[in-house]
Amino acid sequence: MTQILLVLTTVATQADAQVLARSMVEQRLAACAHIEAIDSVYRWQGAVQQEGEWRLLLKTTAARYPALEAALCAQHPYELPAIVAVPCAYALPAFADWVATEVAPT
């Protein structure tokens, strides 16, 4: 079965999230993307910050992850974007096949 990854990143605005999500799907680097509003608490440059952000959850394959990561880094508005990939231990085989088909290079 194809190794599916859930890739997470955050941005400051809904518009930025929509641009990244659409770009990654259009480039066939992600099969789909989910966008949700979140509250983030983090330390940045020595100070604790608390802000609203937008989280993207992108579904891809392990094989396409390097290209997805590179594209996210190139287009991401943050100086240091949080980009984390989590492997799926299990996935419905038909869904895993769909993800693999959607991110296959043309």
Read off the pTM.
0.94
Cβ proximity of 69 and 77 under 8 Å:
no
Residues 66 and 84: their CA atoms lie apart, in Å, by 12
Residue span of the structural domain in which 60 resides: 4-103
Q: What's the pLDDT at 100?
A: 97
Q: What's the pLDDT at 2?
A: 85
Question: Measured between alpha carbons, how far is residue 38 from residues 51, 53, 70, 84, 94 in Å?
Answer: 9, 5, 24, 16, 30
CATH number of the domain to which 92 belongs: 3.30.70.120
Residues 21 and 42: their CA atoms lie apart, in Å, by 23
Q: What's the pLDDT at 60?
A: 98
The count of structural domains within the chain is 1
Q: What's the pLDDT at 49?
A: 96
What pLDDT, in 10s, does the model give residues 79-102? 999 999 999 999 999 999 999 999
Q: What's the pLDDT at 106?
A: 83
What pLDDT, in 10s, does the model give residues 30-73? 999 999 999 999 999 999 999 999 999 999 999 999 999 999 99
Cβ proximity of 38 and 10 under 8 Å:
yes
Q: What's the pLDDT at 78?
A: 96
Closest CA relative to residue 3, chosen from 102, 91, 82, 106: 91
